[in-house]
């Protein structure tokens, strides 16, 4: 299987599908690159080279003890981009992966990036603080941590059967298969890695990173996202990033990579085709 070995010896697994201008996909918590498979297949089938990696501690990458923080995630992403010598790439991040992409730009710039897309993404800053009063209370994230320590298998089942895909909304129909795959991918993450990633995605302030964006940026977010609320995530990011375009999916939940897979694939493909070298 293909891996990039980063500076501390961690092996980062990646998929590399198709050929053409590169698209790099960063996944959400506590999933892995398989969660992008519908969009990866669609984009690769339409003339793009699609690279999707497993974040350290997730999926097939090394389950490290340390490095479960956004700076390290961003540096791992940079190592993959540089090892594959990707240029004029479109960087696309879902949920926690959106934070990874934002921090990558904050730390490494846009020299290798032509476009960015943030999908149901955690930036600019999820946690409620004195200077971020509209954020999510820390008790929500403490609940995730407590659930992870008590019975993480049940926690992931509850997320899949409830807020992640909006399966707790009246009239919502999300297949058992989709919910089962969420659980399966989540259980493949290292216990410590998934636990510490809660702080990474919730308590990292990405506002300075978003200020460094200087390439065309698309922000996609469902307005019934119960995991990263629209007002906290997509709406706030689009308002902060210079020139960003916001696309709202009415009534859509957090997990639109599955619930709105065709719409999302088509919207991302249209954005990719706007690129002019």
What 3-state DSSP class applies to 119? strand
75 among known catalytic residues: no
> Of the residues 54, 75, 225, 267, which is catalytic?
225
44 and 33 Cβ atoms separated by less than 8 Å = no
Q: Using alpha carbons, select from 8, 134, 140 the residue that is nearest to residue 71.
A: 8
66 belongs to the catalytic site: no
Active-site pick, 26, 35, 61, 95: 95
Annotated catalytic residue 95: yes
SS (H, E, C) 40-108: HHHHHHCCEEEEEECCCCCCCCCCCCCCCCHHHHHHHHHHHHHHCCCCCEEEEEECHHHHHHHHHHHHH
Q: How far apart are CA 4 and CA 84, in angstroms?
A: 9
Phi, psi of 190 (to 5 degrees): -65, 145
- Both tokens of 73, joined, read 């995630």
Q: What is the DSSP string of 195-222?
A: HHHHHHHHH---HHHHHT--S-EEEEEE
Give the CA diameter of the chain.
51
Catalytic residue among 254, 258, 260, 267: 254
Active site (catalytic) residues: 95, 225, 254
């Amino acid at each position: 299987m293909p891996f990039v070995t980063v500076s501390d010896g961690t092996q980062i697994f990646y998929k590399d599908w198709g050929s053409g201008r590169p698209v790099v996909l960063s996944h959400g918590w506590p999933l892995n690159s398989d969660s992008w498979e519908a969009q990866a297949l669609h984009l690769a089938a339409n003339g793009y080279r699609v690279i999707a990696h497993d974040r350290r501690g997730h999926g097939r990458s090394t389950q490290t003890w340390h490095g479960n923080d956004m700076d390290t995630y961003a540096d791992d992403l940079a190592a993959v981009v540089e090892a594959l010598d990707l240029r004029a790439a479109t960087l696309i991040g879902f949920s926690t992966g959106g934070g990874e992409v934002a921090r990558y730009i904050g730390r490494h710039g846009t020299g290798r990036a032509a476009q960015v897309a943030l999908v149901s993404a955690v930036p600019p800053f999820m946690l409620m603080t004195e200077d971020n009063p509209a954020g999510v209370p820390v008790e929500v994230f403490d609940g995730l941590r407590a659930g992870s320590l008590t019975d993480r298998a049940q926690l992931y089942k509850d997320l899949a059967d409830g807020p992640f895909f909006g399966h707790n909304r009246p009239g919502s129909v999300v297949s058992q298969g989709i919910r089962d795959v969420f659980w399966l991918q989540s259980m493949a993450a290292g216990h410590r890695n998934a636990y510490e990633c809660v702080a990474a995605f919730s308590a990292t302030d990405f506002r300075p990173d978003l200020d460094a964006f200087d390439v065309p940026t698309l922000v996609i977010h469902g307005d019934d996202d119960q995991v990263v609320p629209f007002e906290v995530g997509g709406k706030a990011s689009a308002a902060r990033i210079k020139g960003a375009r916001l696309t709202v999916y009415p009534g859509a939940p957090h997990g639109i990579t599955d619930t709105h897979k065709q719409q999302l694939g088509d919207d991302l493909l249209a954005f990719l085709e706007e690129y002019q070298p």
